[in-house]
């Protein structure tokens, strides 16, 4: 089997119906949803499988829902003896990665993600903010663009996610995000697309949320990682419990260095990536970052079996 890394998606990958086929097809996946419903005290499985979409898009539900589906897919892969050499997750997906590495129990993972989602939603309500994807500019150009946007009126934006060589997400005050598309086009961007989110995630506007989550992280037991977790904040592998805790503490209000994270895994010998969870956004990003990488996605029974067959035979999708 090739050197495989699992990567776990973040907010924005959700869709009504996600995880239902996994739960029907694999008892270990169904067990994850049963655990989530019990730990969280409400039927998260129903929100995932039936919606309504408006509820699923609320951050307090979106984040644990995505993590639950990702963990269900991971458990189904694990049951078929598909195991990675390292893991990473995009934004809230980092919690799925940490659980897959054995640092957190499934129960503590789901509980922390629920706290994270509630805290981030509250921060978004107390100080309205947004995010926008800038396409066609290098990250250094987007950093300069942020300075131009900030000088043009009230509010500020900053770089939040470096997703691929030509896609960088900015985040900040709503007024600044709203004037970003026109200024971005003037700076040479191909497009600047406002994102349907409820706050300025991965920016300084999330410092209150980070503080709330910090207390919960301190109360939660962390274990040594069985395999390295490539953390969003430093784009480098961490294994010690204190390192993982600090990475999760910092990432709510810090930049997601996704390009560097993928490059770090490739530099350490990873040749194949499996996106474990809903959607295919990470697979698309990885293909832009490393064209030689083999990439799979696992979000239902069909894609899981395709990935298992491909990994065992060495054939890419």
Give the pLDDT score at 306. 96
Residue 317's pLDDT band (boundaries 50, 70, 90)? very low
Radius of gyration of the chain (CA): 19
Backbone angles phi, psi at 202, to 5 degrees: 55, 40
Q: Which of 13, 70, 91, 203 is catalytic?
A: 91
Backbone angles phi, psi at 296, to 5 degrees: -125, 160
d(CA 162, CA 64): 23
d(CA 128, CA 178): 12
pTM of the model: 0.96
The H or E element spanning position 294 is: strand 294-298
Residue 178 has pLDDT above 50, yes or no: yes
Q: Is residue 25 annotated as a catalytic residue, yes or no?
A: no
Q: Which of 202, 203, 254, 261 is catalytic?
A: 202
Which two three-digit tokens encode residue 96?
């799925």
Residue 196's pLDDT band (boundaries 50, 70, 90)? confident
Average pLDDT over residues 24-37: 98
Residue 145 has pLDDT above 60, yes or no: yes
* Pairing mode, strands 4-8 and 272-276: parallel
Which two three-digit tokens encode residue 54?
């408006």
Structural domains of the chain, ranges and CATH numbers in brackets? 4-124+205-313 (3.40.366.10), 129-198 (3.30.70.250)
Q: Is residue 13 annotated as a catalytic residue, yes or no?
A: no
């Amino acid at each position: 089997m090739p050197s495989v890394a699992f990567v776990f998606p973040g907010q924005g990958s959700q869709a009504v119906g996600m995880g239902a086929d996994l739960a029907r097809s694999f008892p270990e996946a169904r067990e994850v949803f049963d655990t989530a419903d019990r730990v969280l005290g409400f039927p998260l499985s129903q929100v995932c499988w039936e919606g309504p979409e408006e509820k699923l898009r609320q951050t307090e539900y979106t984040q644990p829902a995505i993590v639950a589906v990702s963990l269900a897919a991971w458990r189904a892969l694990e049951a078929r003896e598909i195991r990675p050499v390292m893991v990473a997750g995009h934004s809230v997906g980092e919690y799925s990665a940490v659980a897959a590495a054995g640092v957190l129990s499934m129960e503590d993972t789901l509980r922390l993600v629920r706290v994270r989602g509630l805290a981030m939603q509250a921060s978004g309500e107390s100080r309205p903010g947004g995010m926008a994807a800038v396409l066609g500019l290098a990250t250094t150009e987007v950093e300069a663009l942020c300075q131009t946007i900030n000088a043009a009126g009230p509010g500020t934006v900053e770089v939040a996610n470096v997703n691929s060589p030509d896609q960088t997400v900015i985040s900040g005050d709503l007024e600044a995000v709203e004037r970003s598309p026109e200024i971005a086009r003037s700076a040479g961007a191909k497009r600047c697309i406002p994102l349907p989110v409820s706050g300025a995630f991965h920016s300084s506007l999330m410092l209150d949320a980070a503080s709330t989550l910090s207390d919960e992280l301190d109360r939660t037991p962390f274990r040594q990682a069985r395999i390295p977790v490539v953390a969003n904040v430093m784009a480098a592998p961490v294994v010690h419990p204190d390192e993982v805790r600090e990475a999760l503490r910092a990432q709510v209000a810090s930049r997601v260095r996704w390009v560097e994270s993928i490059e770090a895994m490739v530099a350490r010998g990873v040749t194949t990536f499996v996106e474990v969870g809903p959607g295919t956004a990470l697979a698309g990003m990885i293909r832009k970052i490393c064209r030689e990488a083999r990439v799979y996605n696992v979000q239902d029974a069909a894609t899981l079996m395709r990935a298992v067959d491909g990994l065992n035979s060495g054939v890419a999708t």
